Structure 1
Amino acid sequence: MQSRVLVHTIVFLFLIEALLARPVATPFAHSGSSSSALPRRSRALVTTVSRRAVTVRQRLRATQAGTLLPTSEAVDRAPTVTNTIPTSTPSEPTPPTSTSTPAHSAFRDPVPILMYHYIRPRPGSDDPLGQRLSVDPATFQAQMDWLAQHGFTPITLSELAALRAGLTPAPPHPIVLTFDDGYRDFYQNAFPILRAHGFHATVFVVTGFVGQERYLTWDMIRELDRSGLVEIGAHTVHHPDLTTLANPESEIRGCKDALEHVLGHPVTAFAYPAGKFDARVETAVRAAGFRQAVTTQPRWATSGDDPLALPRLRVTGDLTLAQFAALLTG
């Protein structure tokens, strides 16, 4: 702006100088005086204008060079702007990118989803259910070693959904490891083994049981979630049979809200308690915002399965390593 004002000033002064330098009709013209012989006052004015033009030209050069020549004449001082409003040049709009376009071919092969509960020493015969649902840590270690030796890649339930959608490339022999109920022995016994192998897993938490003696604490849940290896899924608030409830939404959404409040991100995986569900329950699960849900139907998951009714293979405490291998190779 300052340079523009100086340029305009120079042009104006040059015009005045040119006009004053032109021959003009004066009372002295008839006496043979030269056209350049102007009256004394006119010559003085031309001199003053010329000096001002030179001064302005000098200031313009100084301004373009990044400096301002000092001057004591107020008429030569350029105004200083102290309250300039910042402006920004709008950038070219970025074309919207599609998040629904698959970057890879959708993975359509069947995938086994394993279901665990306790990873602990098996109780005695006085607790037959606990005995059946408990896998000894040494047995679990042998099973995970077998998976590693045979080239399996344990992933989370959400990672399986990404494979099915073609959003990520398929790893060798994907398999999903799930752990129901959120028992503390997962953190104590299973997680160190998974971490040593770099295996991923999904843990389904019953939020109403968090912090009780046998269950994960909220600090443990946060640590597992932040590990990058474990996906935290929802398993209701109190583990009821959802098909018997007049309002299953409170159990489903209440669990989801509690987990998301603690973890600070969406929870999209769900496990039906005891595998029990019907069309009404599945509708409530979908309405709550879950994208995958698992049942207890015993078979491999296929690409054509309902993502809110995925089957799983139960791993029981009495399963031998050969039987475990048969689940995944037979």
Structure 2
Amino acid sequence: MSWINLAISILLVVVTGCAAAGIPSPEEISPLFVTATPTATPTPGPTPDGVLRIAHVPILMYHHIAAPPPGADRYRRDLSVPPERFESHLQYLHEQGYTTISLRDLIYHLTRGTPLPPKPIVLTFDDGYADQHENAFPLLKKYGFRATFFIITDFITEEYPDYMTWAQLKEMVEAGMEIGSHSRNHPDLSGKPLDYLVWQALGSKEAIEYYLDVTPRFISWPSGHYDDQAIAVFRSAHFWGGVTTHQGTEQRSDRLFELQRIRIRGKHTASDLNILLHLDW
């Protein structure tokens, strides 16, 4: 086991042991120095069979499912897909024979060769906005589709306006939706110290476990920012993979924490979606 893996393992133990009293801030986690010889601890999840697999599976990335509010800036307009346009996307996918799968399904396929259905697709939603529950969730149920929602856990716990509640997320979990981490507070996770990354990984993971009684296995890197150390920490926290903002559909078994997605913008119609799904990424 490398030094970084040893340090991560120790920090995970420290932070987990403090969970009953609340997860500490990075400043409260002291530097640790050890000389004992470590032993590897297996990570729960699918055991890779060693075969390199590449699958072209589109992962769509949504944010707001709502019309942009009056006076919205260009960023908000770009992130906002009106409900009727979102439904046209789902109707297109349904008519074209796409089957929604979970990220877990994709990981099992990449690591173990578990078969996927014809025309698989993954639907993801970042940030945990309230309009995702209000507008996207009913339409997903209408078409019998599943999706993964990546939430910013501190925003949910602190009841930020315009974000979902834990009760709403629980309802979605019970309906078969998957919940993943989008960190505690949406920072840039590249170039950060080890203890801070552990705080982000375990803090978001334990909040989801506590409030929803499910274990998140996937991270959506905030604003697409991450590095090798961030990947190492989330992997050691028993996450199975991560999604990026890198455009494309090529998913690789040797890059489980760098899954590609297709960004869906507010202006994209069903015809645009058809073009995006047929590009030679």
Scaled by the length of structure 1, the TM-score of the pair is: 0.65
Q: Map of 1:122-137 to 2, 5 A cutoff?
A: 122-124=68-70, 126-137=72-83
Structure 1 residues 165 and 282: CA distance shift in structure 2, 3 A: closer
**Where does residue 146 of structure 2 map in the other structure?**
200
**Where does residue 232 of structure 1 map in the other structure?**
179
Aligned residue identity for 2:189:
L
Give the counterpart of 1:217 among 134, 153, 165: 165
Deviation of 1:162 (Å): 2.1
Q: Any idea what SS the aligned residue of 1:119 has?
A: coil
Q: Contact conserved, 2:64 with 2:81, CA < 8 A, in 1? A: yes
**For each residue in 1:80-109, what CA deviation from the matched residue of structure 2 results, as whole angstroms up to 9, or x when unmatched?**
xxxxxxxxxxxxxxxxxxx8598xx99853
Deviation of 1:301 (Å): 2.8
Q: Does 1:253 align with 2:199?
A: no
Aligned residue identity for 1:213:
P
Q: Does 1:157 align with 2:106?
A: no
**For each residue in 1:234-258, what CA deviation from the matched residue of structure 2 results, as whole angstroms up to 9, or x when unmatched?**
1111111112433222112100111
- Max Rg structure: 1
**Where does residue 245 of structure 2 map in the other structure?**
296
Deviation of 1:187 (Å): 0.7
Q: Any idea what SS the aligned residue of 2:259 has?
A: coil
Q: Among the aligned pairs, what percent are the same residue?
A: 36
* C-alpha distance in 2 between matches for 1:284 and 1:196: 38
Aligned residue identity for 2:163:
Y
Scaled by the length of structure 2, the TM-score of the pair is: 0.76
Structure 1 residues 108 and 277: CA distance shift in structure 2, 3 A: closer
Give the counterpart of 1:283 among 229, 232, 235: 232
* C-alpha distance in 1 between matches for 2:53 and 2:95: 23
* C-alpha distance in 2 between matches for 1:107 and 1:186: 33
**For each residue in 1:290-316, what CA deviation from the matched residue of structure 2 results, as whole angstroms up to 9, or x when unmatched?**
001011001113234500111111000
Q: Contact conserved, 2:170 with 2:212, CA < 8 A, in 1? A: yes
* C-alpha distance in 1 between matches for 2:197 and 2:48: 35
Q: Any idea what SS the aligned residue of 1:162 has?
A: helix
**Where does residue 190 of structure 2 map in the other structure?**
243
**Where does residue 69 of structure 1 map in the other structure?**
none
* C-alpha distance in 2 between matches for 1:279 and 1:244: 9
Deviation of 1:163 (Å): 2.5
Q: Any idea what SS the aligned residue of 1:311 has?
A: strand
Q: Which runs of 5+ in 2 are unaligned?
A: 1-45
Q: Contact conserved, 1:271 with 1:294, CA < 8 A, in 2? A: yes
**Where does residue 136 of structure 2 map in the other structure?**
190
Q: Map of 1:1-330 to 2, 5 A cutoff?
A: 108-124=54-70, 126-166=72-112, 168-210=114-156, 211-228=159-176, 230-246=177-193, 247-330=196-279
* C-alpha distance in 1 between matches for 2:143 and 2:211: 27
**For each residue in 1:37-67, what CA deviation from the matched residue of structure 2 results, as whole angstroms up to 9, or x when unmatched?**
xxxxxxxxxxxxxxxxxxxxxxxxxxxxxxx
* C-alpha distance in 2 between matches for 1:305 and 1:194: 31
**Where does residue 44 of structure 1 map in the other structure?**
none
Highest relative contact order (Cα 8 Å, sep 6+), 1 or 2?
A: 2
**Where does residue 3 of structure 2 map in the other structure?**
none
* C-alpha distance in 2 between matches for 1:173 and 1:116: 19
* C-alpha distance in 1 between matches for 2:125 and 2:152: 11
* C-alpha distance in 2 between matches for 1:242 and 1:100: 27
Q: Comparing 149-158 with 117-126, which one deviates more in the overlay?
A: 117-126
Consecutive aligned runs of 4 or more in structure 1 exceeding 4 Å deviation: 99-102, 105-108
In terms of fraction of residues, the more strand-rich structure is 2
* C-alpha distance in 1 between matches for 2:128 and 2:72: 23
Q: Which runs of 5+ in 1 are unaligned?
A: 1-98
Task: Name the Cα RMSD after superposition.
Answer: 2.1
